[in-house]
Structure 1
Amino acid sequence: MNIVEIDVAFPTFIMNKSGEILEVNEVMKQQLGIEVCDKHVSDVFSEWSVSKDRCLALGKMREFSCVFIIQKLSEDRYMCAGVFSQEIDYILNEIDALQKMNRHLDAVIENSYDGIYITDREGRTIKTNSAIERITGIPKHYYIGKNVDDLIKRGILESSVSHRVLEQKKSVSLVQPNRAGKETLLTGSPIFNDDGEVEAVVTNIRDLSELMELQTALRKANELNKSYQKEIERLKGNQENAFSQIVINSEKMRQVYEVAERVLNVDTTILILGQTGVGKDVLAKFIYNQSNRRMQGKFIKVNCGAIPPDLLESELFGYEGGAFTGANKQGKPGLFELADMGVLFLDEVGELPLNLQVKLLRVIQEREVQRIGAVKAKKINVRIIAATNRDLRGMVADGTFREDLFYRLNVIPISIPSLAERREDILPLVSYFLQNMNEKYELNKSIGEELRSFLYQYNWPGNIRELSNLVERLVLLTQDNVIMIKHLPPEYQTDFLSSSSISLDSVTLKEAIERAEKQAIVCAMEHCTTTYELAQRLDTSQPTVVRKLKKYNLSLQGEN
C-alpha cells in the first residue's frame, strides 16, 4: 500500500521495522515543514516511545506533543497516523492524575475493614477486597467475574442485595448469615450513569457478630469502670470522712480499729462500750464509711438518752397519719426506715425504756418495723450499731435492761479504752485539735513544752471530748501565740498538783511542771529504744528529746 493511496486527514507516515520513515502524506509535510523521509523516527520526534503492544507511540515535535496509532501493513511496513497538539500534555497529565486517584481508591477499598464488592448492572462482580475473605472465608479472586445469581445457587450468598438495588434504584440493607453462621449486614448502594440508570452497585459487608462482641466487651468495660469508680469514691470518701477524724498512735486503739475492720461488711450487730467522750460515735462512723453500706444507705444517729421517752418511740418507728393527737396527717417514717440499707447508730442505748427495748428486740429478730397506728409491718435492711457508757450486764442483773436484747446487741462487743489508758494518743490529738482550731479561727497558736507535758500527764475524765474543748478554750482565750501553763484554767492546775501529791506550799509551779515532764518522759521511755521513737511518741522534736534527757540525766536502753 502506498501512502498516496491513504486518504486521511491526520498526519500520517509509513516506517519500516527499524523505525526509518519511508513515506509521509501531505498533512504530515505541512505539519512538519521539513523533509523527513529516510530519517529515523527518533531523529524527527524527541522522547519517542512505543507501547508494549506496539499499537501506540508518543513523541514531541518542537512545542507540540504528538500521539500516533500504529497499524501493521506488512512484515516490514507500519503506518502511523496521529495528531499534533499542545493540549495533549494537558490530557496526559489528566490521565496521570486519574490513574493516581484510581490507585488511591483501590488502596481505600483494599484496606477497608468491611468487605466491599462491586457488581455491574448485570450482577457480575468486577471488584472486591481482601476483607471479604475474613468475613466469608472465600478468597476474593473467586468472586471476580462471578454473577451474584451463581453465588446464590452455590450457597455462597443467601440472597442478593444487588438485585434489590437495581429494582428499587436506591440503597438497600439486609441482614443474613454467612457460611460460618455469623450475622452480616449487607448494604448496597447504586451508581448512576448520565441517563439516570444504575450502571453498577457497591455492596458493603459488615460482620455484625464482631460488632456485637465489641459492644458486649464495651458494656462490660463500662460496667467494670463504674464499679471501679464507685470503689474509688468509696475509698476516697472513707479517707476524707473517716480517717481525717481519727488519730491513732497507741497499740490499744490500733487493736480496736483492727477489730472494726474485720467486721466492716458483716451485718451482725456491734456494741461499742466506753466512757463518755472516748470516741464511740467516731468508731461507728468509721465502720459505716468503710463498709459497702455507705454506697447503699444513710448513717442515722439517735441519742437514746437525749429524746424524751414518750417521743422516742415515734422517732424510732414512725407513725401513720392520725395515729395520735397532733400527728402529721401524712404520717412520718421512723429512723429505722430512714436508715434502710444503711446504718442506725443507737447511742446511749442503755437509756432505752423497757417497753422500747421489746420493740427494738423485735426489729432485730424479724428485720421489720411497724409504725405506730399501722396494721402491717415493713421489711427493712438496717445494720444496728449500739453504744453505751453504762454497765449493761449490771443493768441486766438489776432488771433494768432485757437480757435477750443484751445478747442480741452484744454479738460483736468493742471496748474503747479511756484516754488515760492510751496516753500515746494524747499529744497527737492535741496537735490535731490545735491545727483545726488555728485553721478554723485563722490563728497561729502553738503549745509550749511545759504545757504539753501537763496535757500528757493529766487523767482526762472527760476523755477526747474534754481534751478538744480545752484546746479550743485555750486557743480562743489566750492572747499570746504560745500557750503556756499559766494560761490553763485554775481547776486544771489544782487537779494536776493534787493528783501529783504535791503541796503548793512545798514547791513552785516550775518545779511541779518539771516533775510532771520528767515523769511523762520516763513513761514514754518504756515503749521506745531510740530518741527518734521517743520524739514521735511525745509528739515533739528529736533535739528537744535529747536536751530533756540530758537535763534529767536519763538515757534510753541500748543508747550511750
Structure 2
Amino acid sequence: MRGELLLHLYATRSREQPVQFDGTRYRTLTFLKDEDGLFSHLIFQDDLFFDLYNVVERSYDGISMTDVHGVTKLVNGAVERYTGIPREYFLGKSADRLVTRGFLQESVTAKVLAERKPVTVFQGGTNDQQIVMTGSPLFNDTGEIQQVVINFRDISELVYLYQQHLQEKQVNDYSGERAEHQDVEMQQISSMVKRVANVDATVLFMGETGVGKDVFATELYERSRRSEHGDFIKVNCGAIPMDLLESELFGYEDGAFSGAKRKGKPGMFELADKGVLFLDEVGELPSTLQVKLLRVLQDGEIRRIGGTKTKFVDVRIVSATNQNLREMVKDGTFREDLYYRLNVLPIKIPPLRERKNDIDWFAQHFMDQYSRKYRVEKTYSEDFKIWMRAYHWPGNIRELANLIQRLVITVPDMMIDVRHLPADYAKPVQDGGDNLLKRAAENAERELLERTFAEHKTTYEVARALNSSQATVARKMKNYGINV
C-alpha cells in the first residue's frame, strides 16, 4: 500500500512545505481528482517520498502507471524524451483516448487487463526510435488488478550498445579460436552469423552432411546474449527413436507412461529456457511433432506429456538439415507453415569441394589438434596438400577430420604423404581420370577469368560479363590466386 500511495503522490508533483511532528518531517500531498471531481490528501514522511521521487524521475527508462480504467496517474521525464510528447498530455487521460488522438499506437494497459500478465508492445518514437512498452499488472489482496506499471525502452539504442559490447568482447574472447575462413563466401557466412546472433528469430542452416552446420549453430549461441543466461541444447531429430522423441523434447509428468521417472522429467525445451535449442536433422521430425513444434513457435508454450498445465519457455530455435525442405513441403512430408517459421533466417553452407581455400586451414587445424592429443609431430608433403585440394570430399569437413586423425595415428613417418593414404582413397588418385578432368576444367576457368579481368577493371564488371555474381567471381579469383 505504501508504494501505491507514493506513486499516486508522485503523480501530483506536489511541492507543499513539509511539517514537523515528533522530530520527523512530513509533507501534505494532494492526489489527482477522482471520477467525482474530489481531491484526496495524504500526509507522508518527507525524506522517503523524495527518495522515491528521485528514483522514478531519474530513471533512464520511461516509467508510467495507469489505473484499472487505463487512466494515466504517473509519468516520468524519460517518457517525454522517448515519445517527444509532454508528460502533461498523458496525465489524467485514458489510454484509449491517447490512442485515438495518435499519441500511442496501441494500449498496453488494455492487453494487460485482458491477459492478466506482463505484456510487451512496440511503439514508434522520435528520430527512428523503436520504443518497446512493457506493462506489468499490480494485484491487490483479493487478486484483482489495481494498477498497471509501464516501462518504456528504446530497443534500437539497446541493440546498438549491445552490438558494440559484443564486438569488444569478441576481440578478446574469440581471437584465434574459430575457423579462419579463407573462402570469400564462407567469410560472408561468418559475418552473417555474427550479425544475427542477437536477433531472436529462427535460423535454418542448410548444407550437406559434415559441412559444419552444428559448428555455426554453436558459434551463433556463443556470440549471443543468451549464452549468458541459458544453455545450448542440441537434439538430433534423426538419431532418437520416434516414440521417445516427444518425451525428450517436451518432458513428461509423473505416471505419464510405464517406466516414467517419479516427479517427471523436464524436456529439452525447458532445459533450453533462456538459451538456444538446436534441432539437427529437423527434416526427420514426424508429422505429429511438427504440429507441436509449430505451436511452440507460435505461442511460446509447452505442455509435458501427461500434464494438464502449459508452461512458457523463452527459447530461440535454431535448426539444421541436409534435406531439401522446400521439396518435402511439395511432397507433403513437411508442413509448409512450419517450414516458413523455421526459415526466417536461412543460411546455406557450401560443401568443402566448393571452397578449396578452406582446406589448407582445416587440414593444419586438425593436424595441430591431433598431434597435441596423441603427442606426436607430423607435417604434410606438398604432394599430399595437392591431393587434398583435388579430392572431392563427399563427407566434407567431418571426412577430412577423420582422415587426418587416422593418418596421425597410423603413419610412422614424420611426414604424411600420398602413399600413406588408405586404399579407399588411393585408388581414385591412381586412376587419375576424375582428377585430370577436374584440373582441366579448373584451368579453363582460370584462363577465362584472367582474360575477362584483363578487359574489365572490377569484379562487378567481370561478373556482368560472365553472367555470374560478384561474390562467385571474387571467390574463384581468390581460389586461383588471381590478383585484383
Pair in the same fold by TM > 0.5: yes
Deviation track 1:133-168 (CA, whole Å, cap 9, x = no partner) reads xxxxxxxxxxxxxxxxxxxxxxxxxxxxxxxxxxxx
Greater shift after overlay, 394-403 or 346-355? 394-403
CA contact (8 A) 1:318 1:333 kept: yes
**How many Å apart are 1:255 and its aligned residue?**
1.4
How far apart in 1 are the matches of 2:349 and 2:199? 20
* Alignment CA distance shift 1:236-1:484 (3 Å): same
**How many Å apart are 1:312 and its aligned residue?**
0.5
Aligned to 1:180: none
Residue of structure 1 aligned with 2:320, choices 387, 398, 403: 387
How far apart in 2 are the matches of 1:556 and 1:374? 62
**How many Å apart are 1:247 and its aligned residue?**
3.4
**How many Å apart are 1:316 and its aligned residue?**
0.2
Aligned to 2:260: 327
Aligned to 2:347: 414
How far apart in 2 are the matches of 1:245 and 1:278? 15
Q: How large is the Cα RMSD of the aligned pairs?
A: 3.8
Residue of structure 2 aligned with 1:271, choices 200, 204, 212: 204
Aligned to 1:251: 184
Residue of structure 2 aligned with 1:374, choices 293, 299, 307: 307
Aligned to 1:239: 174
Deviation track 1:402-422 (CA, whole Å, cap 9, x = no partner) reads 111111111111000000111
**How many Å apart are 1:440 and its aligned residue?**
1.1
User: Aligned letter for 1:398?
Assistant: D
Residue of structure 2 aligned with 1:454, choices 387, 401, 411: 387
CA contact (8 A) 1:454 1:516 kept: no
How far apart in 2 are the matches of 1:464 and 1:354? 31
SS in 2 for 1:272: strand
Aligned to 1:463: 396
How far apart in 2 are the matches of 1:362 and 1:297? 22
- 2:443 pairs with 1:479: no
* Alignment CA distance shift 1:322-1:499 (3 Å): farther
CA contact (8 A) 1:246 1:282 kept: no
Q: Could you say which structure has the larger radius of gyration?
A: 1
After superposition, residues 298-447 of structure 1 pair within 5 angstroms as: 298-447=231-380
CA contact (8 A) 1:342 1:382 kept: yes
How far apart in 1 are the matches of 2:415 and 2:446? 24
Aligned to 1:293: 226
SS in 2 for 1:330: coil
**What's the TM-score, normalizing by structure 1?**
0.50
CA contact (8 A) 1:299 1:339 kept: yes
How far apart in 1 are the matches of 2:167 and 2:186? 26
CA contact (8 A) 1:450 1:517 kept: no
**How many Å apart are 1:266 and its aligned residue?**
0.9
How far apart in 1 are the matches of 2:317 and 2:482? 48
How far apart in 1 are the matches of 2:438 and 2:324? 33
Q: Which runs of 4+ in 1 moved over 4 A?
A: 230-234, 515-529, 555-559
**How many Å apart are 1:498 and its aligned residue?**
4.4
SS in 1 for 2:177: helix
**How many Å apart are 1:500 and its aligned residue?**
3.2
Aligned to 1:128: none
* Alignment CA distance shift 1:261-1:454 (3 Å): same
* Alignment CA distance shift 1:329-1:233 (3 Å): farther
Aligned to 1:282: 215
**How many Å apart are 1:445 and its aligned residue?**
0.3
Deviation track 1:195-247 (CA, whole Å, cap 9, x = no partner) reads xxxxxxxxxxxxxxxxx9xxx9xxx9xxxxxx99x96996478517xx62423
**How many Å apart are 1:448 and its aligned residue?**
0.1
**How many Å apart are 1:399 and its aligned residue?**
1.1
CA contact (8 A) 2:166 2:223 kept: no
How far apart in 2 are the matches of 1:489 and 1:458? 14
How far apart in 2 are the matches of 1:391 and 1:556? 33
SS in 1 for 2:306: coil
Deviation track 1:454-478 (CA, whole Å, cap 9, x = no partner) reads 0011110000000011111111110
User: Aligned letter for 2:415?
Assistant: V
Deviation track 1:153-192 (CA, whole Å, cap 9, x = no partner) reads xxxxxxxxxxxxxxxxxxxxx999xxxxxxxxxxxxxxxx
How far apart in 2 are the matches of 1:447 and 1:522? 28
How far apart in 1 are the matches of 2:440 and 2:379? 21
How far apart in 2 are the matches of 1:291 and 1:367? 20
How far apart in 2 are the matches of 1:293 and 1:441? 35
* Structure 2: gaps spanning 5 or more residues: 1-22, 26-50, 60-161, 454-479
* Alignment CA distance shift 1:340-1:473 (3 Å): same
How far apart in 1 are the matches of 2:267 and 2:429? 47
User: Aligned letter for 1:408?
Assistant: R
How far apart in 1 are the matches of 2:375 and 2:309? 55
User: Aligned letter for 1:321?
Assistant: D
* Alignment CA distance shift 1:317-1:412 (3 Å): same
**How many Å apart are 1:386 and its aligned residue?**
0.5
**How many Å apart are 1:492 and its aligned residue?**
1.0
* Alignment CA distance shift 1:317-1:558 (3 Å): closer
CA contact (8 A) 2:428 2:434 kept: no
How far apart in 1 are the matches of 2:447 and 2:191? 25
User: Aligned letter for 1:330?
Assistant: K
How far apart in 2 are the matches of 1:350 and 1:497? 38
User: Aligned letter for 1:306?
Assistant: A
How far apart in 2 are the matches of 1:516 and 1:484? 21
Corresponding pairs, count: 308
* Alignment CA distance shift 1:290-1:501 (3 Å): closer
